[in-house]
Amino acid sequence: TPVVQLWDQVLALPLIGSIDSRRAQTVTEVLLERIVETQSEVVILDITGVRSVDTHVTSNLLNIVSASRLLGAECVLTGINPDVAQTMIHLGTELGDITTMADMQEGLKYAMKRLKGKR
């Protein structure tokens, strides 16, 4: 899974397919390295291509968000389709203070506003 730098201090991580524990660990390691390398403050975590979620997938996503936060980067979760949203609610997934946006475009707009406000 590629981690793409969209802008200064903005990374995108488009996830496609299934996310098992092994893949989540690899993705997290690569993402954390890129956050440090690029000094990124925002990561757009796009799950448009994730087919389905269960407790393991949601746990893995929350771990990615938490690890990124420890390095000073805010994750914006984008691309949650209606089926995934319903499943997450059914599973009792607590997103807490994680910012969610409809799609990657909205996520990028949010990131740009957030960075502009810091300068």
**pTM of the prediction?**
0.93
User: Is pLDDT at 36 greater than 70 in this prediction?
Assistant: yes
pLDDT in tens, 62-106: 999 999 999 999 999 999 999 889 989 998 888 888 999 999 999
Calpha distance 115→8 (Å, rounded): 9
pLDDT at 118: 72
Q: Under a CB-based contact definition with an 8 Å cutoff, are residues 7 and 111 in contact?
A: yes
The reported pLDDT for the residue numbered 15 is: 96
> For residue 119, what pLDDT band results from cuts at 50, 70 and 90?
low
List, as one string, the DSSP characters of the chain.
---EEEETTEEEEEEEE---HHHHHHHHHHHHHHHHHHT-SEEEEEEEEE----HHHHHHHHHHHHHHHHTT-EEEEE---HHHHHHHHHTT---TT-EEESSHHHHHHHHHHHHHHH-
Provide the domain count of the chain.
Answer: 1
- Identify the band that residue 52 occupies on the pLDDT scale cut at 50, 70 and 90: confident
Question: For position 59, which CATH number holds?
Answer: 3.30.750.24
Give the whole-angstrom CA distance, residue 97 versus residue 99: 6
Give residue 96's domain range. Answer: 4-118
Residue 109: count of CB within 10 angstroms of its CB: 12
Percent residues over pLDDT 70 in the chain: 99
